[in-house]
Structures are given as C-alpha cells and as structure tokens.
Amino acid sequence: MAENAIPNDGQPTPYDVHTRESDGEYEGVGHTGAAGFEAPGDVNSPWNEDLPEGEHDELQDGMLPRDLPKRTTFYDPVAERQMTQTDAKLFYQRSKAEGRSASGAWALPTPLGSPMIASGSRPATEYGADSLVLDPDGNLPETQTPWKSHPEMPAQPPEHNATSEPLSKTKAYAFPATTQTQPGLASDGTEARGFLDAQAAHLANAGLLGSSLFDTEPHITSELSSISKNIQRILDLRHKYISLSNQGPNDNPRDGPDWEIYPPPPDPAWKEGRAGYAGSSGLASGQGAHPSYGSLASLGKNEAKRSTRKRKPGQDIGEDFDMEDLLPLPGDDGMTFEMDESGVYQVFESKESEEPAIKVPTIRDFYMDLDEILTTSSDGPTKSFAFRRLQYLEGKFNLYVLLNDYQETADSKKVPHRDFYNVRKVDTHVHHSACMNQKHLLRFIKSKMKKFPNEVVLYRDGKHLTLAEVFASINLTAYDLSIDTLDMHAHTDSFHRFDKFNLKYNPVGESRLRTIFLKTDNFIHGRYLAEITKEVISDLESSKYQMVEWRVSIYGKTIDEWDKLAAWVVDNKLFSHNVRWLIQIPRLYDVYKASGLMDTYEQIVRNVFQPLFEVTKDPSSHPKLHIFLQRVIGFDSVDDESKVERRLFKKYPVPKVWDTKQNPPYSYWIYYLYSNMTSLNYWRKKRGFNTLVLRPHCGEAGDSEHLAVAALTCHSISHGLLLRKVPLLQYIFYLDQIGIAMSPLSNNALFLAYDRNPFHQYFKRGLNVSLSSDDPLQFAFTKEPLIEEYAVAAQIYKLGSVDMCELAKNSVQQSGYELSIKKKWLGPNCDLPGKQGNTMVNTNVPDRRVEFRLHTLLEERDVLRRYAMHDPSQASSGTAAPSNTVAPEYNGSSARPANVSTDLSPGSKGQQQQPSIVESPQALHPALGPA
C-alpha cells in the first residue's frame, strides 16, 4: 500500500480509534467512508409519518424532517453539496500528489513525540466527539512508522525508544515531559546553536516544506511577502537600537561569572544530599545544588570579615552591609564626556579625541525610524495579517490546553516540594512610596504619634514643627486615624481621573504628611520612610519567595538629587536580597517651567545624567552613588499618558532651545533617556560596571505611538493595555518576546475594567507577560499584594497552577536580577530556550508547556522569514525561495541580524533540504538578559 494511501474499512490502521456516545445509546456505529457516518435509525419511524412520499429517500438515518435543508433566497443546499464535494476531491488529489513527492505542506508530520493517526474513513472522536482516545493495541506497522517518512529523521522519535509508552492517551498536540539532554546540546549549553538547528529542522519538516508555502495566487504571495518584509524591517530596527544601547541579553557585566554581589545572597535552606531531595525525580546532577555566585567565589581579602556579618532573613535589615568592605573604589580611567549641541552626552576615549566613542542615533534618525514603524502599523493589510496570526496563536494555545491539561497537572504532581507558593516571583512594577498597604502605614503613623510626638519633623513658614503640632494643625489625634480617615485607596472616583489618583498619595489629603512619611528628601532626611521600608523588607524576606523592583524618583530639578537618594539608601542600609531598584523620571517639565524652577528642557537632561557620567568616570567622586548603582536596574518614565500631546513644531527643537511652557511629548522624553543612556552604557560596560535598561510605563492610556517608541528603544514596558488596539505592534512584542509587566487591579481602578483587561489574551497568545502590583497602598487590601494580584487573576481568568507558575517564571526572566541569582531560582541552564532551560523542580512549569511555547515561537518566526525571503520572479520559474541566501537573525550583540543559513539545494529522493534557523538562545527570549 502506498505510504499516504487511505486504508479501507477492513484494513488495519496505526491506531484503532473507537467512538461511542457519552450516554452509551449507540453501540454499533457503522462507517461509510469520508462521505458520512451511519447511525441507527429507521426512515419509516413514526417521526417521519407526515413526510411527503418520495422525500423519505432524501433523509439519512437518524434525521428528522426539520433537519432537511430547504432552499431559500440565500441558500441552495444542492449547490453547496456540489461545491463541497468538488473541494474535497481537489484536496484529496493534492494531498495524494504531494504525498508521493514527500515535499508538500499537506503531508504534515505530527509534533515532536506525538502519536500519528493515519487519515481514513474512521470518525476522529470518541466520547461524544470531544476527545480522542488511541487504542494501545493498535500497533503501528513497521512500514508505516511516521518517523521513517522523512529520510533525514531517525527511525524512532529522538526522545522515546520503541518500548516507551505514549506520553498521553489523548494527545494530538502534546510535548515530551522527559528532561534528558537533546542530541547536540552539552550540559554547559555550549552546543545550543546545534540544538536550535535540530529544532528548526523539525519545524521545517512540520509544515513549511518545499514550495507549498507559496502555492497560492501570485498576488496574494507577493502581498504576504511585502508584509513580512515590513515586519522584519521593524524587528531589525529594534535589534539595532537595543544592541547599540547595550540592553541585550549578553551586554550587562552584572551577568558575568565574576560579578560580585554585596551583600551576598543568603545561603540555601537545604542541601542536595538532604533527605527528601537526594535522588528525587527530575533533580539531575547539579540542578538541585546551590550554584556558586560570582561574589562568593571572589570575596578575596574581605571574605572573613564579611562572613561574620551574616544575618537571618527578615531580621536586622542592613546589618550585613558595611561600606568599608567595598573600599577602595576604582579611580579615573582617562575617558571624558561632554554634552553636544543636540542635548546628548557624548563619550570620548581621551581628551584629544574628536570623534565620540559611540555613534548615537540623532533625533532626526529616531523620528524617521519611528515614522516607519507607525506607517507600517497603520497599513490595512499588515494589520489584518498580524490580527489573524494573533488569533491563530490564541486558538493554538486553547487547543494545546484541551489536549494537555490533565498531563500538565500530572507532571506538576510529580515534582517534590515545589508549588505556586514557593516558586520565586518578582513584582516587576511597584512604586516604592506606595509599597506598603494602608493598614501598615496607619499602624506606623499611630506608633510614631504615640512614641515620638515631640520630634521635630517639618520646617514650614519659618518655624519648626513637631509631629504633634503637625497633627494639631489638621485637627487630628492618633485615636481619630483610621483607614477611612487616611483615604488613600483609589476608589471609583479615580477612574479616568489621574489627577485625583495622584492626590491619593497624600494621607488624610494633606501634602505635609506625605512629605514627612513618604519622601526621601525632607527635614528628617527620609528616616520615617526608611524605617517603614525596612519593615516591608522584613515581610518580604520572611515570605522568602517574593521579590520586588521598587521605583524611586529622580525629578531632575537639581543636580544633587542622585547624591541625596544614594545617601538615603546607603546610610539607612536598605540592602536586601529581595530588593532591586529602578529610577523613575516623572515627565513634569511643564510644572517646573511654570513654577520658574528652570528655563529650558536641557536642565532636566543635565540634572538627570551628569552625575551618572561623573560617577562612571571616577567612582570615588560619588562613592555612595557608585555603590547604590550596583543595585539599580534601569530607568522608568512616569506620568499621565492620557494627556493630549499637541505637536506645535514641524521639527522638534533641541533641549537647549525648548523653552516653551508646553511639556515635550512622550517620544521626546524617551529619546533623550535612550540616547544619553546609550552613551552611559557604553562607558559603564567598558569599565566593567553594570549597565542600565529602559523600562518605562507605556500603553496604559493615550496615543498608541507610545508603544511604537517602546518597541524601538525599550527593553520592556509596564502596562501595555493599548496593544490590544494595535495588532501589528502586539505581534512585534510577541515575535521579540518584549516583556510586559501588567497590573490588572491598578488598571481596573484607573483606566480599564478588569473583565476587559487584555492580560489573559496576551498570555494565551504567548506574549511575555508578568503580573505586578503597581501601587499596593492604593489598590491592595492584604499584606501580600503580589499574591493578591495573582489570586484575583486566577479567580477571574480561571488560571491553573501551571499558568501561575509560568507567569512567576516570566517575572523572574523579565527582572533585572543577576544571572547567577536567576540560575539559583530557575535552574542552572535558565538562559537556554525550551525545556533545556527549564528545571521543573525549580519552576514547577512542565517541560511540555515550555516546549510548546518555544516551538510555536520558532514556527512563527520561520513563517515570517520564509515569506520575507520569497522572490515572486523565482517562484514563477518554479523556485520556492532564493538559494544560498542569508536571512536576518538577532544574536544579541550585533546591530543587525546575521548567521541564518538557508541552503535549498536539492536533497535526497528529490526532496529539498530545508533552511535552518540558527539563533542564539537569548535571541529566543530577549527578556532572559539583564533587565
């Protein structure tokens, strides 16, 4: 029998598929081939008594008269049947023809490790048509082994021997759950490129073979090719900007093996040899052991002194830090810097150098590239293409869940000790001044009122005020205070009212109380805020598995803000393994201009960046700032995005001549953050200091142009709600796995009702999303706001344990924690893609889930690449795609993609050899890099 021939009813099939109704009513189901299926019934039954004579023959068994299709003005059942039969005939003939050549897109092998069901006349479902059960007794004949239908594949699936059982009895799109090493991939990950070659080769064989991808009408293929080239162009622009600014996965010296983390992380609570862990399933050699941190391996002369300062988590916050341990600091390296005419700091190798050490894109280049993205994103066919691909991704995930849900649950149950509560999760977007809940702040204020009423806390109107005098001025006592009195929760009156939301930061509506309790720069040098911060850190360390990335503000009003903030952190010893920091820059130039604080926008640029360049040139000039920056991840840009941005200029002026009262637009702010950060990162990386990334608030409201700016210049974003309205940009965020920290509870109070939030849709489509709490003081009710965020999402969206563990893993990957820390939390190979980077005993995410995500992403990129490479002129002459060409690939270090070989020389048996995608592991998951 031919390889792809359809078997007759009497012939054996690879898997016997039995069908029966769920109520067991029909036992003897007969088969009538592809034309239909016979169910027991009697045409002469009483149900058919009133049918006109002669029409009994038109009814199939089991049909009622009402089921007989009637011809109407808009529907002709006879014509539709004829069309259906014609289409089926063409489909069958085409599949037969391409099956013989073994080079068509219709002869699709099943996913890796999945059983194959030969096409035939048997019905596809068993229990009532909603599930698929394979008969284990129906063995596949040797001549029909699916893996032998492709000469380049082994006779057996690469991950299962001939004696292994199928992974799932109901698996038509399932992935292997084993953790054994793939061929070509060493344990240290050095052969990751070969592994990806094999993965891509399988994908090529899974439906993108030969010329069948382009076997549509020529004008349709040409349009798809044009669309794909435009999308690839946007990806290339992003890769160029990200690589130039050193925001890629391998660009941060912090991720190197010799990076010193001080104070060092706490020791693990258990050892690999401890009872209950030694020899546990899935705990391979070295996977359960505590990976050596760079800091612990290179403490040098201070090792003994530092080891004596160890403390228990949750106790004595900051007592393991001593600034003397970090002295002496590095000195001047001889490089120089200065601000050019366009408001960008340029770095020079020496005082004699005339050319900058790095070429930063000009503001003209930036806006031309941005305009190209906006033009493409508003193109009708491109939007339709992206929308349909996103719909496909969502449907594919739904199908995967239907077929693998039970197996994923079984996989999770096999993992010892680990569940959602004890997998690491990072709050990737939370503002420090609102990091506590209302009850915590209320207790803190009351305790200070009772214990230190006579402490001088404020200087106003020419006199010093004690805490008691401040409360007397607003006619309140400690007894009067309550949650309702504080009035800091964002209720319904804050919806689409960002101005009211900002006022919620004022306890009891009084700005003076905010200054006293929630500011770092005040009369008491932020001591109260430092004390309550230590209490929050103590809670975090006690919970052990929750980490935060706190945003603290640099306003750009004065040149010494950085030194004051660094002194506040260092002097109060606010160092914890559970905490990292981001610097948020409020877009408030119009407020400063109106109050007379500054004359031009250039002053903000100078106040924000000059101290950073000075401390990079000579760390001893700002010692505390240098130490603080070791715990800083990057920049955030915050304000009300819904503000209208009126363009008054055909060409935006440079900062030194921007002296109008109008606030610069979002894109202008981001460009000057990006351009100056690019110069700074080049210098810091050259000196071996940690680099910074750009992670702004974006897409919460306002213009969708903000998302285009972020796609071009930013490492990741917060919110991203407006991506639901721009399919192309959402598709770009998927293809490049740009991180999105989402806060549905915050959005519910400010801009978008919870049931309309696109978070769950993004997650199903495969976007790199995580959950975050944003402002616990305004939105949370419990002591653990991040767990509250997960809990509400799980209830509303019906998330399972695997879903929440995947979100937790995403949050760690998006975060700016050092790679050595991530390896402890996620596994020693967490920087590799797919199941090779997934240690299930750490993440509690089944291998089949991460393999599905990886295969889907690779397949989507391959479809895009092939259409982008398609040449209609060669297709008309019988060639599918250009041979021996190079397609783009982002390797995380070059400005433009490279190193994708596509050899389409004819293979054996007349089959073309497929192009392979050669990508670095980090290119698959850009968020795995420093954040």
Q: Which amino acid is at 460?
A: R
Q: Which two tokens stand for residue 107?
A: 């002869």
Q: Residue 772, SS3?
A: coil
Give every strand in the sheet of 632-638, ordered side by side: 425-431, 546-553, 579-586, 632-638, 693-694
Cα distances (Å, whole numbers) of residue 411 to 127, 258, 849: 24, 36, 10
What does the DSSP assignment read for 718-766? EE-GGGGG-HHHHHHHHHTT-EEEE-HHHHHHHTS-GGG-THHHHHHHT
Decide if 239 is catalytic: no
Please choose, from the candidates 854, 809, 25, 725, the residue with its C-alpha nearest in 3D space to the C-alpha of residue 424.
809
Please choose, from the candidates 631, 606, 782, the residue with its C-alpha nearest in 3D space to the C-alpha of residue 260.
631
The radius of gyration of the chain's CA atoms, rounded to the nearest angstrom, is 31
Q: Residue 114, SS3?
A: coil
Give CA–CA dist 560/777, Å, rounded: 29
For tokens 């297709």, the residue is 875
Please compute, for residue 375, the number of CA atoms within 13 A of its CA located in the half-sphere on the CB side: 8
727-735 and 363-377 are packed helices; what angle lies between their axes, rounded to 10 degrees? 110
Q: Are 918 and 889 in contact (CB under 8 A)?
A: yes
Cα-based angle 550, 551, 555 (whole degrees, multiple of 5): 155
Q: Which two tokens stand for residue 299?
A: 């403490």
A 10 A CB-CB count for 647 gives 8
Q: Residue 810, SS3?
A: helix
Q: Are 501 and 643 in contact (CB under 8 A)?
A: no
State the DSSP code for 329: P
Measured in residues, the chain has a length of 931
Give CA–CA dist 494/505, Å, rounded: 12
Give CA–CA dist 806/798, Å, rounded: 14
Residues 6+ apart with CB under 8 A from 494: 500, 501, 504, 749, 750
Q: Which amino acid is at 792?
A: V
Q: Which amino acid is at 743?
A: S
Please choose, from the candidates 638, 660, 634, 637, the residue with its C-alpha nearest in 3D space to the C-alpha of residue 647.
660
Q: Residue 430, SS3?
A: strand
For tokens 């001025």, the residue is 473
Q: Which two tokens stand for residue 382?
A: 């491109």
Give CA–CA dist 55/65, Å, rounded: 9
Q: Where are the alpha helices (DSSP H) in 271-350?
A: 294-297, 303-307
Residues 6+ apart with CB under 8 A from 239: 890, 894, 895, 896, 897
Q: How far is CA 408 from the centre of its chain?
A: 21
Residues 6+ apart with CB under 8 A from 583: 551, 552, 553, 554, 632, 634, 635, 636
**Residue burial 317-352, b: 16+ Cβ < 10 Å; e: rest:** bbebbbeeebeeeeeeeebbbebeeebbbbbbeeee
Parallel, antiparallel or unpaired: strands 425-431 and 345-348:
unpaired
Element (H, E) at 457: strand 456-460
User: Which of 719, 760, 855, 925 does the annotation list as catalytic?
Assistant: 719
Cα distances (Å, whole numbers) of residue 496 to 501, 640, 797, 843: 9, 10, 24, 38
Active site residues per annotation: 719
